[in-house]
Structure 1
């Protein structure tokens, strides 16, 4: 093991044996190099003649750039063309941390790590897998989950996704979650909680939220060491009263010394910048302090350094400018209202009881999506193809469930969409007669 990795491990072991035991072998071996090229470059910062940086500099000391590109960007070249740190820009890391506290008021006075910038949430989840999952480890997920978890965690790291039933009687299936979390002996447990959920578009009620937290606490009190990945891709898009508005990370990061919470979030969906690819990985555990979090940040940055080097500087700079703009909050509200209007259009349309002949909505209340469960005898893939070929409507088939991204459908088109689905179901039945 590299001595720099062991230095970080010593800090982690001293501060939290739980966190150390949760680390994967990769996580234990990774480090952010303070020596070598990066260390020598850091020491040379500010020199009159700096020949350490693997980038080109104009004679006037500004970043070398092509005018065909620079002329399209109304920003200081130093915020656009140089590399960003593997940890992410310090200014956006600090800003995002302050925004986590603003969005989750119950976190007041709770010490968290400084977020590390990932290349959006896919990369953030992947880096969490790198840090905490060994081949053969089990990751508890709901039976409705984002399919990319398979590529990131199963195919890339060899972890096994084990599912619990998400819904029972129109609500979160707390019994199924508790049973799955307590399967097997006492030991390491890994969980992914994604709210609002992709694909269902469901966020737990306040009571369900509290019950989920209590279930995890009881499992930790038994001696289980639990790492929970909180995939907060669609955070903030909650459309109903009585639904949990804070990230479940807020409760988990101060719950118990045996529970490490990993918040994976970003601007992708929250701020409608899908192509910017800026996400964040933030750590929290009861009793965590700056030394522990600093070691985790260094290991995460090392994993990023060893995979993509760093995330795009221009994206981080543009986002930081937006976050600091006085118009930012007002514009976020305006876009939320558009999304809420589309959600309301879905809800209103589905009050028509005729649709229940062929499909019913799976519980939904937030995010970008909702799903419909097709009636027995109807095949999702068949309906999906009919919808494309005959009605020019695109949906995603998940077995006998169709996922509908109403985030991409104008409110005025929602009725037509569901009428098309209804007609496609009729067509499918007629074709078999």
Structure 2
């Protein structure tokens, strides 16, 4: 093992040995190199002739760039063309952390790490898998989950997805979730909590969020060592009263010394910048301090460096500029209002009782999506094809659960969409 990895491991073991035990073998071996080329480059910073970094510069020392590109971007070239740090730019890391606290008042005086920048949330989930998941280990997920978990965690890292039932009627199935933590006896447990959920568009009530935390705490008190990945991709898009608007991460960061919470978030869905590919990964554990978090940040940045080098500088610059714009919050509120209108239109359309003969809505209250479950005897794949060919409607079929992305359609189209699904069900019967 590299001495720099050993040095980080020593800090983590001393601060919280359970966190060290939760690390995968990759996580234990990874480090951010302070020596070698990076160390020598850092030492040379400020020299008159700096021939260290693998990036070209103009004779005046500014970043070398093509005028055809520079003319398209109205930003200081130094914030666009050079590499960003593997940790992410310090300014956007600090700003995102302050925004996490602003958006989650429950965090208040709780101590969390400084976020490390990832190449959006998919890469964030991958880095969490890199840091914590060994081949053959189980990761607890609901039976309705984002399909990329399978590609990243199962096919990518060899972990097994252990499913529990998400819903019991109109509410979360807490008994199934609790049973999933008890399965396999006492030991290391990995859990993914994704709210608002993809594909269902469900977020827990405040009471359900409290119950989830209580179940995890009880599991830790029984001797389990737990890492929880909080996938907050659709954070902030809650459309009903009584639904928890803050991240489940806020319940977990100081829950128990044996529970490490990993927040995976970013502006992709929150700020409608899908192509920017900027995300963040942050840590929280009871008793966590700057030394522990700095070590985890260094390991995460090492994983990022060894994987993609760094996230795009231009995206980080544009986002930081937007966050500092006085009109940012008002613009975001307008987009939320549009999303809420679409959600309300879906709710209104589904009041038609005739639909219940062929499909019924799964619980939903937030996010980009909602789902309807087809009645017995209907074939979701057949209905999907009928919808495209006969009604020019596109949906996603998930084993006879149809996912509707209301985020991607006008509110005025909601009635036509469900009428189409209804008629396609009739067509499939004939």
TM-score bracket relative to the smaller structure: over 0.9
| Partner in structure 2 of residue 24 of structure 1 | 24
What is the TM-score normalised by the length of structure 1?
0.99
Q: Distance in 2 between matches of 1:51 and 1:2?
A: 27
| Partner in structure 2 of residue 180 of structure 1 | 180
Q: Distance in 2 between matches of 1:367 and 1:348?
A: 17
| Partner in structure 1 of residue 294 of structure 2 | 294
Shift of 1:381: 0.5
Alignment of 1:270-309 (within 5 A): 270-309=270-309
Residue by residue, what CA displacement relative to the aligned partner does 1:225-275 show, whole Å, maximum 9, x if unpaired?
Answer: 000000000000000000001100001011000000000000000000000
What is the DSSP-based 3-state SS (H/G/I as helix, E as strand, rest coil) of the residue aligned with 1:306?
A: helix
| Partner in structure 1 of residue 194 of structure 2 | 194
| Partner in structure 2 of residue 38 of structure 1 | 38
Residue by residue, what CA displacement relative to the aligned partner does 1:3-60 show, whole Å, maximum 9, x if unpaired?
Answer: 0000000000000011000000000000000000001001111111100010010111
Shift of 1:185: 1.4
2:229 corresponds to 1:249: no
Residue by residue, what CA displacement relative to the aligned partner does 1:289-315 show, whole Å, maximum 9, x if unpaired?
Answer: 000000000000000000100000000
Which of structure 1's runs of 4+ aligned residues deviate more than 6 A? none
2:133 corresponds to 1:133: yes
| Partner in structure 2 of residue 114 of structure 1 | 114
Which structure 2 residue ranges, 5 or more long, are not aligned?
none
Q: Distance in 1 between matches of 2:379 and 2:310?
A: 43
Shift of 1:357: 1.0
Q: Distance in 2 between matches of 1:363 and 1:351?
A: 14
Residue by residue, what CA displacement relative to the aligned partner does 1:189-238 show, whole Å, maximum 9, x if unpaired?
Answer: 00000000000000011111100000000000011000000000000000
Which structure 1 residue ranges, 5 or more long, are not aligned?
none
Alignment of 1:2-21 (within 5 A): 2-21=2-21
Residue by residue, what CA displacement relative to the aligned partner does 1:152-174 show, whole Å, maximum 9, x if unpaired?
Answer: 10011110000000001211000
Q: Distance in 2 between matches of 1:267 and 1:92?
A: 12
| Partner in structure 2 of residue 375 of structure 1 | 375
Alignment of 1:204-243 (within 5 A): 204-243=204-243
| Partner in structure 2 of residue 333 of structure 1 | 333
Q: Distance in 2 between matches of 1:162 and 1:179?
A: 11
Shift of 1:182: 1.0
| Partner in structure 1 of residue 410 of structure 2 | 410
Shift of 1:109: 1.1
Q: Distance in 2 between matches of 1:320 and 1:386?
A: 45
- Aligned-residue RMSD, C-alpha: 0.5
| Partner in structure 1 of residue 53 of structure 2 | 53
Alignment of 1:61-210 (within 5 A): 61-210=61-210
Residue by residue, what CA displacement relative to the aligned partner does 1:347-368 show, whole Å, maximum 9, x if unpaired?
Answer: 0000010111110000000000
Q: Distance in 1 between matches of 2:184 and 2:408?
A: 42
Q: Distance in 1 between matches of 2:362 and 2:187?
A: 34
Q: Distance in 2 between matches of 1:286 and 1:125?
A: 22
Aligned residues: 430
